[in-house]
Amino acid sequence: MELQLISIKFFAEDSTSVGIREFIPIFHSWIPKKTITDHLLIDVVDYSHVYQGPGIVLVTHEANYSIDPVDNRLGLPYQRKRPIRGSFEQRPQSLIRVTLQACRNLEDDPKLKGKLKFKGNEFLLISNDRLLAPNKDESFEAISRALVDIIPELYGGDKFTLTRDADRKERLTICVKTSNHSEVNSLLNAQPE
């Protein structure tokens, strides 16, 4: 499968820990500092006025990073916009890593004073390409096969589940949950470079 436009989303442990607009100056500060490598950082957009919308978006050439309040859960989606290297099976792994790095950057940001922690044992993988990977069983199975290989590398021997919302109009969204609590740092350490 040639699916390139994939999103990965991790969630905050406590959705009330940080107000969404606190991320505006943080994302702005990342641009001159080039905090995210391999990405051309362009601008920050505030959509906090849109109910359960994309929240605060850091626009880069390769992807959009956001902090959003969708479903009343504070989350960080990384939405890929341009092709990435590697086989289809490798892509989710690369993107999980990139997203975790952004999570860590936020956790470590001095402006947040340690208030923010991300849950490592749950994430979403979203196909942002309805033509190549619509929300159907076949797409779910194909992507699940790739995930099944990646997850043990990420989470060791923890049990995990893969579920999806079957609403055909929504994008294919696979929820990955593991049994044990995980921290962002330990997940990153478990990832190959």
Partner 1 sequence: MAREIDVFETQLELRRLDKLDERIFAEARLRRGVYGQRYDNGPRHDHTRTQAPNYHSGDLVKGPETVWDAPGMQRIKIPFGGLTPDQMDVLANVAEEYSEGILHVTTRQNFQLHFVHIEDTPPLMRRLASVGITTQEACGNVVRNVTACPIAGVCHKETFDVTPYAKALSKFLLGHPDCQDFGRKFKIAFSGCKQNGCGLVTMHDLGAIAVKRLENGKEKRGFELYVGGGLGPVPHQAKLFDPFLSEEELLPIAQAIGRVFARLGEKKNRARARIKFLVARFGIEEFRKIVLEERKILPHDSKWTSYLNELPAYGVTPLKKGESLNDGAYPEGFDEWFKTNVFHQKQRGYSVATVALPLGDLSSHQMRKLAEIVRKYVGDNVRTTVEQNIVLRWMSEGGLPELYLDLKAIGLGDPGAGTIVDITACPGTDTCKMGIASSRGLAKVLRKRLAAKNYQRDEAVQNLRIKISGCFNSCGQHHIADIGFFGNSRTISGYKVPHFQIVLGGQWVNNAGSFGLAIGSVPCKKIPEVVDRITDYYVKNRKKGENFQVFILRIGKKELRAQIEDLMRIPPYEEDPSFYTDWENPREFTLGDLGTGKRTGEAVSLAQFNLADAERELFEAQLHLDEENYQKADRMAYSSMVKAARALVKQQSYDVPEKPNIIVSEFKTRFYDTELFFDRSARGKFGKYLLRRHQEGPVDSTYESVHQLIEEAQLFIDAVHTCYARMQGLEIASP
**Could you say whether residue 180 binds partner 1 (CB under 8 A)?**
no
Q: How many CB atoms lie within 10 A of CB 33?
A: 8
Among 37, 167, 36, 148, which Cα is nearest to 92's? 148
Single out the residue of 4, 15, 17, 45 in contact with partner 1 (rule: CB under 8 A): 45
Please, what is the minimum distance in Å from the beta carbon of residue 130 to partner 1? Answer: 6
The helix or strand, by DSSP H or E, that contains position 174, with its residue range, turns out to be strand 173-178
Comparison of 32 and 192: residue with beta carbon closer to partner 1:
32
Comparison of 33 and 113: residue with beta carbon closer to partner 1:
33
Q: Which stretch binds partner 1 (CB under 8 A): 24-32, 90-98, 145-153, 180-188?
A: 24-32
Pairing state of beta strands 118-127 and 173-178?
Answer: antiparallel
Tokens for 97? 């890593």
Alpha-carbon distances, residue 29 vs 33, 34, 82, 142 (angstroms): 7, 9, 23, 39
Q: Binders of partner 1 among 46-65, rule CB under 8 A?
A: 46-47, 49-54, 57, 59, 61, 64
Q: Which stretch binds partner 1 (CB under 8 A): 22-30, 150-158, 173-181, 182-190?
A: 22-30
**Could you say whether residue 109 binds partner 1 (CB under 8 A)?**
no
Find residue 130's DSSP bridge partners.
Answer: none
Single out the residue of 38, 169, 192, 193 in contact with partner 1 (rule: CB under 8 A): 169
Tokens for 80? 């890929």
Please tell me the distance from the alpha carbon of residue 120 to that of residue 112, in angstroms, as a whole number. 19
Q: Which residue ranges make up the site for partner 1 (CB under 8 A)?
A: 5, 24-25, 28-29, 31-32, 40-43, 45-47, 49-54, 57, 59, 61, 64, 66, 70, 81-82, 128-131, 169-171
